[in-house]
Homo-oligomer: A and B are copies of this chain.
Amino acid sequence: MITYLEAIREAQRQALENDPRVYIYGQDIGAFGGAFKATKNLAQSFPGRVLDSPISEDAMVGSAIGASLQGMRPIVEMQFADFSTVGFNQIVNQAATMFWRTGVPCPITIRLPSGGTPGSGPFHSQNLEALYAHYPGLILMTPATVEDAYSMLLEAVALDDPVIFCEHKYLYFHLKAESLPSEALPVGRARIARAGRDATVVTYSAMVHEALSAAEELSTQGWEIEVIDLRSIKPLDTDTVLASVARTGRILAVGEAWPWGGVTAEVLARVATDGFNLLDAPPMRLNSKDTPVPFHPNLWGTHRPTAQTIVSALRDLLRL
């Protein structure tokens, strides 16, 4: 069995092994192996290619951009996604605009340990995919499975564009697979995580598993819910979403991020504009509450969507 976190480590090991242009840069990722151990033993196996950085997110990203212009393939680990706000400018203004301005690609991968876990609080739980997706020039990967964590990270490194890789901390240890895949869907293609008939849930990252539990529960009552795992939220696979809605006529978009804007708004806007006539009922969305992510597990459990709130939203949707 291999965990989501181990898959990320394994992808990095592969990348280092197969491509001499790859190096990893981040706080405490060298001998220590990273705050979550995503780079455990990699510094030892690849001397000089897994480098501890100072606590300087802006310079971390800036230097990765420079190295990429000179032909390297840096992976930057943010200790937590939340700290990328201090490296924000380099990501959105330097990396994201480089190819368009100069014609020279900027192949960097920025790993963001994202999302909430109990007791992590407002500054170690954030889901920032919508921020980065808003900017032109970035690719946003949001793997929900062990297999995708592995294969998408390898693809992120191989791509010529800057990739924001949102890996979910809640899945690090919980989620396990038998083995790592040798094939994968191409980036930009969503996955039907569960086929259904009565309604479509479109989601990504950790919420895929909440949606699957919800679908499981409803199936005991005769409802067949289709669950779509977007895999990457930019590009966002509108075609797969629309094809599903064509089958089910109903859609609920679920995201762990805050309610204003974000993935659920983008999904519903696309479905409403391009798939209006496929809808048998008003589309719905479910996000976290519009407050910072709370520290206390009691509050945290209510702040984000869960299988239960998804079930209840789906009941509403099916009733409409």
Contact = CB atoms under 8 A, between A and B. Distances in A.
A22 B122 CA distance: 30
Given A130-B261, A135-B258, A273 B269 contact: no
B258 A261 contact: no
Contacts of A17: none
Contacts of A265: 261, 265-266, 268-269
A260 B96 CA distance: 14
A264 interface: yes
A271 B279 CA distance: 14
Interface string A282-311: 111100011110000000000000000000
Number of copies of this kind of chain in the complex: 2
Given A133-B260, A273-B282, A89 B100 contact: no
A277 interface: yes
A218 to B, nearest CB: 20
A312 interface: no
Interface residues of A, number: 49
Contacts of A133: 260-261
A283 B279 CA distance: 13
A278 to B, nearest CB: 10
A282 B272 contact: yes
A101 B268 CA distance: 31
Given A269-B265, A273-B283, A257 B134 contact: yes
With most chain B CB atoms within 10 A of its CB, the pick from A101, A131, A281 is A131
A160 to B, nearest CB: 16
* CB-CB nearest 3 A-B residue pairs: A276-B282, A272-B272, A268-B269
12 contacts: A85-B88, A88-B88, A88-B89, A93-B123, A97-B122, A134-B258, A134-B262, A261-B265, A272-B283, A273-B285, A274-B282, A277-B282
